[in-house]
Chain A
């Protein structure tokens, strides 16, 4: 050995190996990501069913591969609509085409992670002309498609034809999906908490997070009301406890005041109620047990108070 060549110490060797391993890891990730971008749809052919249903109905055969899409590739399948799902907690889409009853059926299973997320996208796209189906957690039929939510899943089954036979196939597939998908039984659909009078059922939205710009307000179901010449929005949100619901009323009211709203005297007879006003728009928020509820976007104070009282009374009656 040359007298000028130093002997490496053990620590230097370890450090060198560690650095080389890190660099190799980085290179591997780059290569994997690159090949994933170039071939982003992953065909997972574990079985005809791919874990989506228990089995296929008789006479139904696959017409394409089972496909899987994640958040960064979802737009490849549904283009501009991807954002609706991604902003609502989307995890993964599995989809497949099947031949059935002289036509084709395509099944889309969106894993939205949580029941409230599935509910949000279900409600956001609910068609007005719908035939409700007796399938848990909720489902409806249109002329050529079936829409279903089950736990954290939102499912669309779309046919290329119209007809009784293919409709029956869609219902059968939906039933098999329900059978294959146990849920925790989480309650998300609180439509029954709204007063039926003047309610616009076709105008409901479920906000999963940061409702009305307030970070602490999540899982809020909103419904439009038309009261004579005035419109208003009512909302309900089921909280974990009475204390949380009560506390949120005041926190939300303080948030609105900080945003420039002004205090207004709340209507009589409503427990834990706060009222504010801005530029002639009234908002009333209150709690009943575990339910936080309120009325907003109403330019008529009398109508806002009347709706708030009806909503309060109704929630008391139907229970929380």
Chain B
């Protein structure tokens, strides 16, 4: 049996055994099982110095409004 299916079954069993201590709408919750892929290269975090900010990308075609509008 595929691992993710087995994990889902384990979770479902846990939900069924603990229903009284879980929200009444537990059956409507989204449950996603993700595999850790070890070969995935970690995303490089960029540092935007003057903003004291970080991010993996900038907004595309970003030009600060203050540079566009001549007031």
Decide whether A and B are members of one complex: no
Q: Which residues of A contact B (CB under 8 A)?
A: none
Q: Which residues of B contact A (CB under 8 A)?
A: none
